[in-house]
Amino acid sequence: MSDNGSLRRGRPGYDQQGILEVAVAAFNQYGYDATSMGVLADRLGLSKSAIYHHFASKDEILERALDDALSALEGVLNEADAAGGRAADRVDQVLRGAVHVLVSKLANVTLLLRVRGNTEVERRALARRRAFDKAVTALVEEAQAEGTLRSDIDASVVSRLLFGMINSIVEWYRPGGREDADKLADDVIAVALDGLRMPTANRVEELLG
């Protein structure tokens, strides 16, 4: 597999990125297992040997697509960690960043969410997803400990609910609609964090009993 971001040039019409985009669309439409190299060749109008000039195998195409989505999500976490400040603010940053990744890489994230672990490539991707989820849960726990997020809900449940909501966007979001990524992220924060932040002082005693 070539280094991330490098493009191997071959026959005219498609570079590696162009083939990747068509392949991801096919994987999402038919399912990865059901999409043969012959199907990809037909959609691209290329011979299979022309595809093999860019990618050694169908698994390599999948790996590149999944890595693109996962690296972007991991980058969101890294940026939040580097920003420092209150944990609740970093949770906000991660959620907003994840929405932006989903919108900008909609097809790749859709593919990632459909991975079931049937191949070694998929299992590695799932391991990275679990590590991401674990890091988000730890960040929620940190915010709960500092008192900026309510602590009466288990942090792992909070993380699953938050990303369940974000991940569901792939099922209905269409680029060019009424909401861009910024507005969509605002809506996610309004629904999620406004319900999780500690209540006003007159409600604290009631919640504490």
pLDDT in tens, 35-79: 999 999 999 999 999 999 999 999 999 999 999 999 999 999 999
C-alpha 118/C-alpha 4 separation (Å) is 23
Which pLDDT score is estimated for 179?
84
DSSP states along 131-196: HHHHHHHHHHHHHHHHTSB-SSS-HHHHHHHHHHHHHTHHHH--TTSS--HHHHHHHHHHHHHHHH
pLDDT, tens digit, 9 for 90 and up, residues 139-167: 999 999 999 999 999 999 999 999 999 99
Record the pTM.
0.84
* Two tokens, residue 29: 């439409």
First-to-final CA distance of the chain: 59
Bigger pLDDT: 70 vs 207: 70
Give the angle subtended at the CA of 105 by the CAs of 101 and 111, to the nearest 5°: 110
Residue in the block written with tokens 């929405």: 99
* Two tokens, residue 14: 């498609």
Which pLDDT score is estimated for 207?
52
| Residue 3 pLDDT greater than 60, yes or no | no
Question: Exposure string (b/e) for 27-58, b if CB count within 10 Å is 16 or more?
Answer: bbeeebeebebebbbeebebeeebbebbbeeb
